[in-house]
Amino acid sequence: MPLRRGTVELSPATVARRLELPDQLTRWLDSLEPVGPPPDEVPMPRGQAALEQLGRLGVVEPDLTAIAQALPTPEQQPELWWLLERAYHQVRLDIGRWDAATWLPSLPAHLGLLGRSFWVFVFLAAAEEMHAWHTRMGIGDDVSWDTLADLGRHIARFRRRNDTTGLDSQFWIGLHFRGALYALGRLQFNPYRLRMGMAGPLFWYEGAAASALGPGFQVGDGALGVHIPAGGALSPAACDESFAMAGRFFRRHFPAHDFAVATCTSWLLDDQLAEYLRPTTNIVQFQKRFQLVPGVREDDRGTFEFVFDRVPESLDDLAPRTQLERVLVRHVQAGGHWRLRTGWLRL
């Protein structure tokens, strides 16, 4: 209990002042105060246990050691710990609440590694609890840890983009850690209700067009969002298997979530890609599964970031190596733009 006492005396204002947090985070601090610390200690693994759990979460070197060595303690970093125990408690309370829209803000750069890894610490502490919830839902270890291991993939992406340890996609990983997203083979799926929350999709049918499509396409109808994590090839066979798994998985574990369609919003569904890439490429094969919803949003930045891991100041800064990279550059050089599209398929 003495560990706890040190943090209880802190107020949000004191934490903000000592950590020199910007005013934009005041709302977050105020929301954490009523959440309070968890009733028991934060189950933060340490030492070898931390390394093993981070390994299960897909974290690899050099970030693995960096994170395990940087784990904060209530004695050494009382203000950061005050934030951590409340943020952890909130993540824990959100488990199973798919619609929770809890704000998981990034901490300011001057906090260095501790700030950049803050949400990694939170998710590390919450991982066992999340895994136990999966188990209670009848979800097997493979799917559970495969899902949570997206954390490591995003830490690796942060390193590719910033050349250091950290995480800035905590909003995304927050979905996994409240049971709202599952890795099922090559693809990931999140159950949601059409046009009822943040999941969108970006474009959807309205009025007569929606009515004509019938049940399963209306605002509020259940659907599955499809996501493509970076990784190995997007082979048609792997995708077939994932879609089949998704149908079985959600009907079995979440029978109350009726759905007729899977939707996907991505640069990968930009039909302009098919004008450049061979029809046999995985990307074009993937596109062919989907019916495109009318509507486009130009998004060169997002597309370049997904493919090159950065947004170049000038196209001349890039050294394209693959067919896709060359195509991306050529299209923009010719005055074109890459677009986000939404597509759907029946499950």
DSSP category for residue 316: G
Is omega for the bond preceding 39 within 30 degrees of 0, making it cis? no
Left, alpha or beta for 20 (phi > 0: left; psi -120 to 50: alpha)? left
- As a whole number of angstroms, the distance between CA 75 and CA 72 comes to 8
Burial 137-154 (b: 16+ CB within 10 A, else e): eebeeebbbbbbbbbbbb
- Joined together, the tokens standing for residue 149 give 């291991």
Before 279, cis peptide (omega within 30)?
no
> Which H or E run contains 90?
helix 78-94
Closest approach of ligand COA to the CB of residue 268, in Å: 5
Contact between 307 and ligand COA by CB under 6 A: the answer reads yes
User: For residue 39, what are the contacts with CB-CB under 8 A and spacing of at least 6?
Assistant: none
Nearest distance in Å: CB 231, ligand COA: 6
Q: Which residues in the 311-340 window bind ligand COA by CB under 6 A?
A: 322-325
Q: What is the nearest approach in angstroms of ligand COA to the Cβ of residue 1?
A: 46
Return the residues of window 151-210 that contact ligand COA according to CB under 6 A: none
283 belongs to the binding site for ligand COA (CB under 6 A) = yes
Residue 339 is inside which H or E element, if any? Answer: strand 339-346
Nearest Cα neighbor of 32 from 105, 97, 95 is 105
Q: Does 135 contact ligand COA by CB under 6 A?
A: no
Residue number of the CB closest to ligand COA reads 324
- In this complex, which beta carbon is closest to ligand COA, that of residue 125 or of residue 228? 228
Stretch that binds ligand COA, among 12-20, 29-37, 201-209, 274-282 (CB under 6 A): 274-282
> What are the start-end ranges of the H helices in 36-183?
47-56, 63-70, 78-94, 112-116, 118-136, 141-148, 150-162, 170-176
Nearest to 84 by CA among 52, 64, 111, 54: 111
Subset of residues 212 to 251 that bind ligand COA, contact rule: CB under 6 A: 228, 230-231, 233-234
- Comparing CA positions, the residue from 145, 141, 232 lying closest to residue 186 is 232
* Choices 14-22, 33-41, 198-206, 262-270; region in contact with ligand COA by CB under 6 A: 262-270
CB of 337 vs ligand COA, minimal distance in Å: 16
Min dist CB 181 to ligand COA, Å, is: 13
Of 306, 312, 336, 337, the residue at the interface with ligand COA (CB under 6 A) is 306
Nearer to ligand COA, 83 or 264 (CB): 264
Confirm or reject binding of residue 19 to ligand COA (CB under 6 A). no
Cβ closest to ligand COA, residue 115 vs residue 191 = 191
Do the Cβ atoms of 296 and 340 come closer than 8 Å?
Answer: yes
- Applying CB under 6 A, which of residues 281, 292, 295, 345 lies at the interface with ligand COA? 281
Number of residues lying near ligand COA (CB under 6 A): 18
Residues that bind ligand COA (CB under 6 A): 228, 230-231, 233-234, 266-268, 277, 281-283, 306-307, 322-325
